[in-house]
Amino acid sequence: MKNQPQRDLFPGALEMMILQTLKRQPLHGYALAQHIKTISDDLLQVEEGSLYPALQRMLKAGLVEANWGTSTTKRRVRIYKLTPDGAKHLKDEISSFERLLEGIRRVLSPARI
Amino acid sequence: MASIRSWFGRRRFESALAEEIRAHLEQKVDDLVESGFSRAEAEARARREFGNVTSTQERSREVWQWRPLEDLLQDGRHTLRLMRRNPGFTAVAVLTLSLGIGANTALFSLLDSLLLRNLAVSHPEQLVRVGAHVPDDSSAGLSLPMLQQIDASQRVFSAMFAWWGDAVLNVEANGALSRSDVWAVTGNYYSELGATPEIGRLIAPQDAPLDSAAPARIAVLGYAFWESHYGGARDVIGKIVRIEGVPFTIVGVARNGFTGITPDLAAEVTVPITAEPLLFGESDVQKHLRRPDSLWLEAAGRLKPGITLERARAQLESIWPPIRESLAPQGKTPLELHQFRSLQLEIESGKKGGTLLRSLFLKPLYVLLAIAGVVLLVACVNLASLMLARAASRSYEMGVRVALGASRARLTRQMLTESLTFSMAGALGGLAFASWGSRALSSFLIRELFIVPVKLNLSSDWRILAFTAGTAILTAILFGWAPSWRASPADANRAIEQNTRTVARKTPQLGTALIVAQIALSLILLVCGGLFLRTLEKLHAVNPGFHAHGLLLLSLSPKPGGYKNIAWISYYRELNERISNLPGVTSAALIHGGPGQPIEWTEKVRIRGTASDGMRVDLAMMMPGTLRTLGIRLVRGRDFTWHDDDHSPRVAIVSEDLAAQLFPKADAIGQRLDITTEPEWQDVRVAGIVSSASLYDIRKPKTPTIYLTATQYGHYMGDPFLLIKTSVSPAALAGPLRRTVESLGREYVDRIKTIEQAIDRTVLQERLSALLSAFFAGLALLLAAIGLYGLMAYSVTRRSREIGIRMALGARQSSVQWMVLRETLLLALLGLGIGLPCAIACAHLIASMLYGVSSNDPLTLLFVSLLLLGVSALAGFLPARRAMRLDPIAALHYE
């Protein structure tokens, strides 16, 4: 009955994708969802709705900021923008993610056995 | 910070998020429509891919919230809404709880101030009382040499101080003479207790040098004394106050609320301890102070840091035997020396001080607190059943909420929040009620018991607040559990269906059980209250053997120097005659020990020449005319006359039962008696026999009593009481009586009371118990009646359809009424059946506090049972009448 938030590959991945997307340009929620969907080529099953709690978490942590603006379709929307803190956080996350990936790759690589 | 902002901006947050999500979905639908989907398909797909909107909103909100607090606030708002919607229910519930919690808190604050609270002095926990006493003799004291020697050898106290206290003496202040509480203290008394003066200064060490022959004649006034005698004038410093005629210079005033070493007695006038002998005209002060065997001082020490009471006790007990030996007095009889050598040190914590109230009222207060606890229990059960009825009527609401996804725990929490809100409101009301109640109670007790005004510290401290809060929470759990248990239906469908069921079940079982419990508990309280009332009634009906009605008792005190060169017999004879001749006075006499005295005077009497131990009897010391004034009948022989003086043979009058017990075969008249071992009380002849009376304690009827005449013992003559039989009101006589006494120039009237008041005072514990337990029993009965009424009214509402059907099928109105009434009475009878054995068991516990009734007094049990049945019938009557008047058509159309 209870709606479990759809978890992606690992905790924090959704946040990382959002931050990475916002690094290029500020976006509103729908555009953000579309962008992530397109980039990941629908490989990652993400419920669009789960963007919003994630965005609220990042707002609270000061990683992004939001301002009301108008979309291309003339709707009033909230546009999210990366903060300097968010950019730094993204860098840290990516480097630690790469270390993790490297570790996994080495363990899985047959040459190392 | 962010989360606090989000509460205030809560609505804005919700609407912003909603708008954002709506925009998201609209854009998606537009895009999908553009790529060829129909609008309906597009909308469905957009929603599917978005996921649960409500859940998204909730999780977004949660980011900013602290969940438990949010829930609590929500529950609180819900509860307040419910309370506003049912003002009648809310008022009854809060009032019930206020009374229940308030009664408990009031009694607890009294107990707290008597038993738990430390003295209001600096570091009371360091204080240790030290005194010497013959084991089994309760009063302990020290002589000044003992104090000095102990202080010199002890290693456990940073200081020792002593006082001589609580003596009521003649004090002339600001031109007015009064009886006041005078204390004499060592120079370090105030500084060791950490006291500071209101004005001027307090007694200091240099004021009371123990080795000086010329003590400082200075006095410190108590705050209340200063207010009442000098109107709080600041120029009082340097004025003279006379104590027993001896002038003392006022040097300062103690602070308001300073009660020194006792919790409830504030000294009115305090002088240096070295000045104490002056008050009794002893010329050689040093000789008086140096007596090693006169244990006139009370003493205490202040523990050094890190020293425990046990260590102090061990050290003091080790130094005591040599000190005692070195102080053994000279020129005493072997018996007296043996007594001195058997003196032991009594060492106990002094942090709470000593108080008369504590020793007198501890047991009644404990019993009353237990009773009040049961009242609170009744209140809880009452509320539980009321809430249960409400919960049942809300089962539809609850069912809907469960169906909408509320968890069982969430609903239980909601119900508990409700009961907690009620009990907190009750606790607030209870605190107000308790602060009034405990003050009223203590002032009642103190007014009756003390000569000087005394104030107990009843201000709320953390203990009282904790007690009240604890009681409230416990109460909430007690009356909240039942409804919350009921209100959490496992199957939501059943709850919703149940509500639409046409014919309801009979009265709910849990509710019935609660009502029965309530009736049983009320019965216990009613039985206790009834027994205490019967005790009081029996005490009032006691015939003490003398005519108490219309008897006045005046205490006479000498003016300063009033007893100088007095011819006792002629003075009192004249006083007696003048008083007797006043209009309105039927008869007058002077007594020393006798009716109206708080302390029973008993001595051992034996037939002269026999070696027996003797028999313990009451003794009354009086002057001629007393027996007539008291209305004690002379059976044989003669009354005392003014000619019985210290030259004539000593005579006594005995009561009939004393005569019968000592001389079962012979005539008592003319027999010779020895009273104790006092030389002057040997060889006393029985001159008369009088009817039996209980002079001191009306609880003890027919006490063997011996009467002596003070005219034969000069030193018993002073400070007498004037006993007056009158047919007019005491108020009308007071003025003439005072003037007549003062006209002779030797004494003045200190206080006037009636003997009936004095007797009332001796049964103060019983009055307190009866008053409060009857009040509590009444409260419990009222609550039980409300509970029973509520249950039956609810049951009638639930069963209105059933009743309608019965009536439509031809049931008569009277039989419908009887059906409801019968159910009520059955519940009451069931409660009685369970309650009676419990009540008898409980009454057994208070048997020692009863007089003249046994704890299973059948009359009380019968009366109380009938009362309970009657009240139950009344409580059932209203719902029964409503059931009878139900319109069957309307009842069947309902819903």
- State the nearest Cα–Cα gap between A91 and chain B, in angstroms: 24
Find the mean pLDDT for residues B355-363.
Answer: 70
Contacts of residue B717, Cβ cutoff 8 Å, sequence gap at least 6: B568, B572, B710, B711
Q: Residue B325 belongs to what H/E stretch? A: helix B309-326
Cβ contact, residue pair A48, B51, below 8 Å: yes
Query: Using one digit for the tens of pLDDT, what is the confidence trace for B540-588?
Result: 888 888 888 889 999 888 887 788 888 889 999 999 999 999 998 999 9
- Label residue B17 by pLDDT band (50, 70, 90): confident
**ipTM (interface pTM):** 0.84
Apex CA B202: angle with CA B196 and CA B208, to 5°?
Answer: 140
Contacts of B20 in chain A (CB under 8 A): 28-29, 52, 77-78
Cβ contact, residue pair A3, B51, below 8 Å: yes
CB neighbour burial string for B191-220, b if at least 16 within 10 angstroms, e if fewer: bbbebebbbbebbbeebbebeeeebbbbbb
Beta-strand relationship, B721-726 and B585-591: antiparallel
Domains (range + CATH), chain A: 13-108 (1.10.10.10)
- Label residue B493 by pLDDT band (50, 70, 90): low
Kindly state the tokens that stand for A93: 């996350």
DSSP string of B482-516, one letter each residue: HHHHHT--S-HHHHHHHHH-SS--SS-HHHHHHHH
Q: Residue B572 belongs to what H/E stretch? A: helix B568-580
3 state SS of A8? coil
Nearest of B537, B441, B418, B405 to residue B106 by alpha carbon: B441
pLDDT of residue B791: 80
pLDDT of residue B252: 93
CA B873 remoteness from chain centre: 35
CA B93 remoteness from chain centre: 26
- State the nearest Cα–Cα gap between B493 and chain A, in angstroms: 17
- State the nearest Cα–Cα gap between A25 and chain B, in angstroms: 18
Q: Is the pLDDT of residue B10 over 70?
A: no
Which of A22-26, B294-298, B467-471: highest mean pLDDT?
Answer: A22-26
Query: Using one digit for the tens of pLDDT, what is the confidence trace for B161-215?
Result: 998 876 778 888 888 888 888 888 998 999 888 888 999 999 988 888 777 667 7
Find the mean pLDDT for residues B358-378.
Answer: 82
Residue pair B395/B497 in contact by the 8 Å Cβ criterion: no
Q: How many CB atoms lie within 10 A of CB B12?
A: 10
Which of A18-32, B93-107, B411-425: highest mean pLDDT?
Answer: A18-32
Find the mean pLDDT for residues A82-105.
Answer: 89
pLDDT of residue B274: 83
B573 or B481, which is more confident: B573
Find the mean pLDDT for residues B815-840.
Answer: 89
pLDDT of residue B834: 92
B605 or A112, which is more confident: B605
Q: Is the pLDDT of residue B594 over 70?
A: yes
R_g (Cα) of chain B, nearest Å = 38
Kindly state the tokens that stand for B68: 């438990």
* pTM > 0.80: yes or no: no
Contacts of A30 in chain B (CB under 8 A): 23-24, 27-28
Q: Is the pLDDT of residue B777 over 60?
A: yes
Q: Is the pLDDT of residue B9 over 70?
A: no
Query: Using one digit for the tens of pLDDT, what is the confidence trace for B780-807?
Result: 898 888 888 888 887 887 777 788 888 8
Q: Is the pLDDT of residue A2 over 50?
A: no
Contacts of B52 in chain A (CB under 8 A): 3, 49
Cβ contact, residue pair A47, B51, below 8 Å: yes
DSSP string of B591-659, one letter each residue: ESSSTT-SS--EEEEEETT--S--EEEEEEEE-TTHHHHHTPPEEEE----TT--TTSPPEEEEEHHHH
Cβ contact, residue pair A48, B23, below 8 Å: no
B197 or B478, which is more confident: B197
Cβ contact, residue pair A78, B56, below 8 Å: no
Cβ contact, residue pair A52, B17, below 8 Å: yes
Query: Using one digit for the tens of pLDDT, what is the confidence trace for B499-518?
Result: 544 444 555 677 788 888 88
Contacts of A33 in chain B (CB under 8 A): 24
Find the mean pLDDT for residues A11-35.
Answer: 87
Question: What mean pLDDT is reported for chain B?
Answer: 82
- State the nearest Cα–Cα gap between B93 and chain A, in angstroms: 38
Cβ contact, residue pair B20, A6, below 8 Å: no
Kindly state the tokens that stand for B103: 């009664």
Contacts of A28 in chain B (CB under 8 A): 20, 23
Contacts of A5 in chain B (CB under 8 A): 59
